[in-house]
Structure 1
Amino acid sequence: MSDHELRKAAHDLDVTVWVGKGGIDPVVDEASDQLKERDLIKVKFLRAARAGTSVEALTEELAERTNATVIETRGNTGVLHR
């Protein structure tokens, strides 16, 4: 699938991983498990998780820790692909 097709598919996805004040650490395993079950997941970064960090940087870090690829970030949401 091309990046364009992946972004299009991600548009209709529901958020399945929420990152809160605990940051990325508590959700790495859950995100990894979800990526094994489906190709795309949508991650929402709550304000408390962002503490001086951009959504783009957090999405990149989560992707790196789950061996995934960032498809897009928009607002407070990131989309990962395995």
Structure 2
Amino acid sequence: MNKTKKKELIGKGAELEPTVHIGKEGITDGVVEEVRAQVKRARLVKVRLLPNAALPIEEVAAELAERSGSVVVDVRGFTVLLCDTRSAR
């Protein structure tokens, strides 16, 4: 993903509300399936890690991307922005 495409996706993601929330149970199969479905449908998904999850956000982002077949666009605070592989080109 080049800089221009990344900036474009971050701009679109700024307008989105988080649609998936990860709590203290962490990344479950249900969360992965939901992210996969939303990425397939919307191509850009914002995921929020709740503070009581006590998981490192970078690890969560990498695992979610790997398990859902998506690409990490941006990580800020407790929020991860993911897109599908087609949008990342």
> Which runs of no fewer than 5 residues in structure 2 stay unpaired?
85-89
1:13 to 13, 16, 25: 16
Coordinate RMSD, CA, aligned: 1.2
Is residue 29 of structure 1 aligned with residue 64 of structure 2? no
Displacement of 1:48 = 2.4
Q: Letter of the aligned partner of 2:72 in structure 1?
A: V
Match of 1:55 among 28, 50, 57: 57
Question: For residues 22 and 37 of structure 2, what CA distance do their matches in structure 1 show?
Answer: 15
Map of 1:62-77 to 2, 5 A cutoff?
A: 62-77=64-79
Amino acid corresponding to residue 49 of structure 2 in structure 1: F
1:15 aligns to what SS in structure 2? Answer: coil
* Consecutive unaligned residues in structure 1, runs of 5 or more: none
TM-score normalised by length of structure 2: 0.84
Q: Name the % identity.
A: 39
Structure 1 match to 2:87: none
Q: After TM superposition, which residue ranges in structure 1, 4 or more long, deviate above 2 angstroms?
A: none
- Counterpart amino acid of 1:22? E
How many aligned positions are there? 80
* Alignment TM-score, normalising by the size of structure 1: 0.91
